[in-house]
Amino acid sequence: MRKGSQSSVRQRRWVVVAALVVLTALYLQWHHIVAMPGHAHAWQSPPPSAPAAHLPHYLASIDAKAVSGIADNLSGLTYNPETKTLFAVTNRPPQIAELTTDGALLRLAPLHGARDTEGIAHIQGDWFAIADERNNRIHWVQFGKGVTDVSLDNSPYVQLGDIAIKNFALEGLGWDAKRQQLVAVTEKWPMQVLMMEAPLSRLKPGPVDLKVSVWDVPAVEDMPSTDLAAVEVDPRSGNLLLLGEESSVLYEYSRAGELLSVMPLWADMAGLANRIPQPEGLAMDNGGNIYIVSEPNLFYKFERKRG
């Protein structure tokens, strides 16, 4: 390895270490320990000013389950409330998978015409949005019951801006059914949350002209994260869940940009035996259960503690 490469590796390691230090401080601040007379220390969370999922109240009910039938590159994830199943994508080769909410593979279909599928969002019915990072495009496709082969040919798509580094572009998608709004995240350089009004009535085959706006709040610039891997919209509150892959941390933000709660996906936290390695996909169902997939093929489910 060349000296320059060694220096670059050291710098990246220090960035990650610094991020973890900041995250730890943030976590301890958010869940400050209060000494109570006659009792052990107790975790307490300050009440948020907006409805929140309260991520620290979640525990893993399925921890690092290998998805049989998918060998590698399990990436984006979404929940379909109509079928009550999950849908995921893999990027090498490009495929769409349907999973049960317990992480069992139901079907796997090749996705023709894609280069680097990283994100997926269920819109309605059989319609899904697919993020292709290398092309920096969002495609809309139909993947109904019994379909075993999907093509992007003649599909509606939005072409986002040109990018210098093809592997750090469009990374995750979420759908806000109440606002009829698609939410996307770019991984880094720049790390952004993008929003676009995208009702199906406005879509047609080929390129679609949709206004894309940047979520312009200080929260994104101030996030103690080095990247964004996935985004989900809480169907109950409209809050945004943002997943950092390098830090392995899940954040909850209000639409105004207020940090509402944080959940580190580390060993001995949130009921996890080990840190989630390379978390890539994120979904939430209508009951508030949270699902995460990580490369190569691990599945996680988090449920809110009762009481």
Q: What is the CATH number for 156?
A: 2.120.10.30
pLDDT score at 93 = 94
- Same domain as 58, residue 17: no
Contact 265, 298 (CB under 8 A): no
190 and 233 together in one domain: yes
Rounded distance between C-alpha atoms, residue 109 and residue 131, angstroms: 16
pTM of the predicted structure, to 2 decimals: 0.85
Q: 71: how many CB neighbours lie within 10 A of its CB? A: 11
Residues 13 and 59 in one domain: no
Query: Would you state the pLDDT for residue 39?
Result: 29
Q: Are residues 219 and 204 in the same domain?
A: yes
Alpha-carbon distance 87 to 108, whole Å? 10
CB-CB contact of 200 with 123 (8 Å): yes
Distance CA 30, CA 294 (A): 26
230 and 253 assigned to the same domain: yes
Return the pLDDT at 164. 54
d(CA 301, CA 275): 14
Q: Are residues 131 and 37 in the same domain?
A: no
Q: What is the pLDDT of residue 25?
A: 41
3 and 83 in a single domain? The answer is no
**Which phi and psi angles does 85 have, rounded to 5°?**
-130, 170
| Whole-angstrom distance, CA of residue 253 vs CA of residue 231 | 11
Which amino acid is present at 147?
A: V
Domain count, the chain: 2
Count CB neighbours of 189 within 10 A.
12
Same domain for 139 and 23 = no
How would you write the pLDDT of the chain (307 residues) with one tens digit per residue? 444 444 454 445 444 444 454 454 444 444 433 222 332 333 334 455 557 899 999 999 999 999 999 999 999 999 999 999 999 999 989 999 999 999 999 999 999 999 999 999 999 999 999 999 888 999 999 999 999 999 999 999 999 876 655 566 899 999 999 999 999 999 988 889 999 998 888 889 999 988 999 998 887 778 888 999 999 999 999 999 999 999 999 999 999 999 999 999 999 999 999 999 999 999 999 999 999 999 999 999 999 987 6
At 145, list the tokens.
Answer: 């019951």
Q: Cα 128 from chain centroid? A: 15
Amino acid present at 90: T
Task: Residue 31: give the domain boundaries.
Answer: 1-44
Cα–Cα distances (Å) from 27 to 32, 169, 254, in that order, read 8, 28, 18
Say if residue 3 is in the same domain as residue 120: no
| Rounded CA Rg of the chain | 19
Do 30 and 123 belong together in one domain?
no
58 and 113 co-located in one domain: yes
Kindly state whether residues 240 and 296 are assigned to the same domain: yes
pLDDT of residue 202: 82
